Amino acid sequence: MTEKIRRFLDERRPATPCLVVDLDVIEDNYRNLARLLPAAKIFYAVKANPMPQVVSRLATLGSCFDTASRGEIELVLGEGADPAMVSFGNTIKKETDIAAAYALGVRLFAFDSDAELEKIARSAPGSRVFCRVLVECEGAEWPLSRKFGCAPAMAADLMVKARDFGLDPYGISFHVGSQQTNLGQWDKAVGGVARLFSILRERDVELKMINLGGGFPARYRADVPPLEAYADAVMEAVRTHFGNAIPDIIIEPGRSMVGDAGILQTEVVLISQKEAGEDKRWIYLDVGKFSGLAETMDEAIKYRLHTPHDGGATAPVVLAGPTCDSADILYEKTNYELPVALQIGDKIEILATGAYTTSYSSVNFNGFAPLNTICI
């Protein structure tokens, strides 16, 4: 937790649950990533944290933006982004939204199917396009399904078709899974993309770009390699498989850009046992899966916690949210222990919650307000 956030919480005492985001941390993360990967263009994944203040700070720094919807495009343009620095990176788009993005000046679009390519050709003629391919996600704490991407052989055929449609077949993208801890996955994925470059060159399609996606982690309970290790692994993979003919490189950081910039303060609403003499306490918080902690689904993302009684005796707990939904349990199987001195009304800080919290918060589920987010 930064001193800036600590001071804000102590002096302002905002009502909980409340996410506080330190914009200076985000700026430091951006500058650090740009220093470590100077050959890459940074397209911030807006979905990670779409707060206007976050977007505005990154736009001021010269960031490009990976957007998932018309709403996100309008957001980043409204905060000063140049449309030439915006990618419509969702492979599932309404044709009306493609046309709207094109009218706003966006000229870079993702796809992974024949039907999506046809929509882009009709409503964004002449645009640059990149095809997303399926890759392995083993090692990711938040793995991605087969919802996005296509087989490499299909991607090759689609890029030829893109050329024939009058589009610019710009490149290939992939995503090795969010919170990826296996650095070798980038080497496998980049190797596959390099083969696609060669195959398409033989079909008179000269690709120019590789989009490495996201996957760089934030630090939760488990330690992760430093960002320097990821940058080294990524560039080593690109050099190994492309030699001196290195294409344009795009990266789409989200979690690693904003995750450690946020602290979510929550209040203990209830402490109970399910039967007399049971050791494990149930700790109910005023925040849960439906108000920002959706990534605790299947207990995938395991957040670090800070309480006012840290350092004292602890005992095992189940952590749950406040809603009348039986799925609103954060951690039951994962071993969490909290101080036995913890009381109803105590505040708990959930660390590294700057990513995928605000953007996942529901609107008025059970009458609970969306997660209050303050950028400082």
CATH of the domain at 326: 2.40.37.10
107 occurs within a structural domain: yes
Residue position matching structure tokens 């087989």: 151
The answer to whether the beta carbons of residues 205 and 163 sit under 8 Å apart is: yes
- AA letter at 354: G
- 201 and 283 inside one domain: no
3-class DSSP assignment, residue 197: helix
- 238 and 291 inside one domain: no
β pairing state of 86-88 and 140-142: unpaired
Report which of 49, 21, 258, 304 is spatially closest to residue 319, judged by C-alpha positions: 304
170 occurs within a structural domain: yes
- 279 and 217 inside one domain: no
- 101 and 140 inside one domain: yes
Report which of 207, 202, 126, 217 is spatially closest to residue 173, judged by C-alpha positions: 207
Report which of 346, 348, 290, 295 is spatially closest to residue 321, judged by C-alpha positions: 290
**Residue-number span of the structural domain to which 95 is assigned:** 24-259
Inform me whether the pLDDT recorded for 182 exceeds 90.
no
18 occurs within a structural domain: no
- 253 and 290 inside one domain: no
Q: What is the pLDDT of residue 218?
A: 85
- AA letter at 163: R
- 240 and 131 inside one domain: yes
**Distance spanning both ends of the chain, measured CA to CA:** 13
In this prediction, residue 365 has a pLDDT band, given cuts at 50, 70 and 90, of: very high
3-class DSSP assignment, residue 299: helix
Which pTM value belongs to this model?
Answer: 0.95
| Overall average pLDDT of the 94-103 stretch | 99
Residue position matching structure tokens 């199987």: 333
C-alpha span between 312 and 240 (Å, rounded): 51
Q: What is the pLDDT of residue 13?
A: 97
Q: What is the pLDDT of residue 179?
A: 75
Cα separations in angstroms, 139 against 178, 181, 184, 214: 9, 5, 9, 14
The answer to whether the beta carbons of residues 326 and 348 sit under 8 Å apart is: no
- 49 and 170 inside one domain: yes
Catalytic center residues: 324
3 occurs within a structural domain: no
14 occurs within a structural domain: no
Q: pLDDT higher for 176 or 313?
A: 313
Q: 67-79 in b/e burial notation, b at 16+ Cβ within 10 A?
A: bbbbebbebbbeb
Inform me whether the pLDDT recorded for 118 exceeds 60.
yes
318-356 pLDDT, tens per residue? 999 999 999 999 999 999 999 999 999 999 999 999 999
Inform me whether the pLDDT recorded for 233 exceeds 60.
yes
Tell me which H or E stretch contains 12. Answer: helix 3-12
Share of the chain above pLDDT 90, in %: 87
DSSP E strands in 26-115: the ranges are 40-45, 64-67, 86-88, 108-111
C-alpha span between 13 and 73 (Å, rounded): 34
Cα separations in angstroms, 4 against 1, 21, 263: 8, 10, 11
Report which of 134, 132, 136, 100 is spatially closest to residue 116, judged by C-alpha positions: 132
From 241, 259, 277, give the residue that closes a domain: 259
Counting the structural domains of the chain, the total is 2
- 103 and 230 inside one domain: yes
Inform me whether the pLDDT recorded for 253 exceeds 80.
yes
In this prediction, residue 143 has a pLDDT band, given cuts at 50, 70 and 90, of: low
Q: What is the pLDDT of residue 144?
A: 59
- 254 and 279 inside one domain: no
40-94 pLDDT, tens per residue? 999 999 999 999 999 999 999 999 999 999 999 999 999 999 999 999 999 999 9
| Overall average pLDDT of the 142-170 stretch | 91
From 259, 288, 309, give the residue that closes a domain: 259
- 250 and 206 inside one domain: yes
Mean pLDDT over all residues of the chain? 95
The answer to whether the beta carbons of residues 293 and 357 sit under 8 Å apart is: yes
| Overall average pLDDT of the 97-119 stretch | 99
6 occurs within a structural domain: no
From 226, 259, 292, give the residue that closes a domain: 259
Q: What is the pLDDT of residue 320?
A: 99
CA atoms within 13 A on the CB side of 102: 19
Return the sign of the alpha-carbon dihedral for residues 86, 90, 91, 95. Answer: negative
Which residues, at least 6 apart from 374, have a Cβ–Cβ distance to it below 8 Å?
8, 14, 18, 19, 20, 21
In this prediction, residue 111 has a pLDDT band, given cuts at 50, 70 and 90, of: very high
Which CATH number does the domain housing residue 243 bear?
A: 3.20.20.10
254 occurs within a structural domain: yes
